[in-house]
A = this chain, B = another copy of it.
Amino acid sequence: MDRQIDRELSELKKSLVQMAQLAEEAVRQSIAAVINRDSQAAEKVIMGDGVINSMENDINEQCLRLLALRQPLARDLRLITAAMRIITDVERIADQAVNIAERALELNLREPLTLPIDLKFMADLALEMVRNGIDAFIQQDPQLALQVWQRDVEVDTLDDEYIQKLLKFMLEETPAVMRAVHYIIIIRNLERIADLATNICEDIVFIVEGKVIRHSSE
């Protein structure tokens, strides 16, 4: 049973993976731009956002064409409508990379700060969630999706911990406040990226099992 629609769905998944890889790379580069004080890398992230945006539009068209021409039902229908939501989330992940890159440009104009936080660790955690979320979509694996969804609490805990540390730091060294706040905003951007990965996973559980985990508590 090699249906035409299966080939088209596999094309759709391939495009979605490409888009997600670009978004992931953008976040990685934006954090490297902060850590290495590399404004050129930051500019590249900002310039590169247009490619990801047009990929979103193309994939969205691809989905609408599939819905109109193949009139899919049940699981295929849920898969396509979820793909439309996932690309919105992936595009917003890329927007967070742009926000972080803009903070890098600001921070690089000022004296460097030595802060008691590990941005790369937090970024790696958030990006692993994104990558596994996309994998779960490709493999239609609700178990993996649930695992990613549950790890969001780790990023939330880190978010709290780092913000507490920055507040303490700010109280001790007032002249650095302005710069420290840029870091707070970056942390919130990362925390949001993890949330978006969680949203992606909710969609996958829904596609495969028709079950909504979005607002349940475990």
List the B side residues contacting A215 at CB < 8 Å: 50, 53-54, 56-57
- Grouping DSSP codes into helix (H, G, I), strand (E, B) and loop, the A interface class, with mixed when no group exceeds half, is helix
Q: Is A115 an interface residue (CB 8 A)?
A: no
List the B side residues contacting A53 at CB < 8 Å: 214-215
Distance from A123 Cβ to chain B, minimum over Cβ atoms (Å):
19
Interface string of A41-76 (1 = CB under 8 A from B): 000000000100110110010011001100101100
Copies of this chain, complex-wide, total 2
User: Which one of B57, B71, B77 lies within 8 Å of A214 (CB-CB)?
Assistant: B57
- Report the separation of the CA atoms of residues A50 and B216 in the bound assembly, to the nearest whole angstrom: 10
B67 and A67 contact, CB distance less than 8 A: yes
- 13 A-B pairs with CB atoms under 8 Å apart are A50-B215, A53-B214, A53-B215, A60-B212, A63-B81, A64-B78, A67-B81, A167-B177, A171-B175, A171-B178, A181-B181, A184-B185, A185-B188
